[in-house]
Structures are given as C-alpha cells and as structure tokens.
Amino acid sequence: MVAYDISITTENGTKRLSKVAKICLKYGQRVQNSVYECNIDTLNYKKLRNELIDTIDCSYDSVRFYNLGKNYENKIIHFGSKTINNVDSPLIL
C-alpha cells in the first residue's frame, strides 16, 4: 500500500502530484485520493519506490509504504460506497 502527500503550493507541486499518481497507477489501483493498493513482487516494489523517490521533493512531500505481507486480504476491511476490485482477480473489459 502506498500513501502520499504532495505539496501543491510549492513550485511544480501540481506537476509532481500528477506524476506521482501516474506512477502509482502503473503498479496498483487507487482506493482513496492519495492511497493505492499494489500487489507487487520485490522487484516491482523497488522500482515503484525508486520512481517515487526520484519524483517527489523530499523537502516538502512525503510518501509512505505499508507492506501488508501474506494474507493481506484478511487485513483489509472496507466500509462505504466505493467498490474496489481485487487486484488479483481477472479484469474483463
């Protein structure tokens, strides 16, 4: 799971925010405005982490990674209207 806070009041903040969101979408699905669920292996985790670290401005922005481990499905409880697809299930368009 990835969560981020990008300062849009700083120079290029809006551009960084857009870029961070696009990077996260490559690896997972958005479940909240700045929160993404990513079911990825170690190699892709390192790629995601490096891309985000290279994109943010560490003086103003922050990114948090939550490694849920095995049986993560049992650790996620959702209430509310937005339905979230299981990232492991087939997606039919």
11-66 confidence digits (pLDDT tens): 999 999 999 999 999 999 999 999 999 989 999 999 999 999 999 999 999 999 98
The pLDDT of residue 78 is: 57
The pLDDT of residue 48 is: 96
3-class DSSP string for the chain: CEEEECCCCCCCHHHHHHHHHHHHHHHCEEEECCEEECCCCHHHHHHHHHHHHHHCCCCCCEEEECCCCCCHHHHCCCCCCCCCCCCCCCCCC
The pLDDT of residue 89 is: 64
The pLDDT of residue 69 is: 73
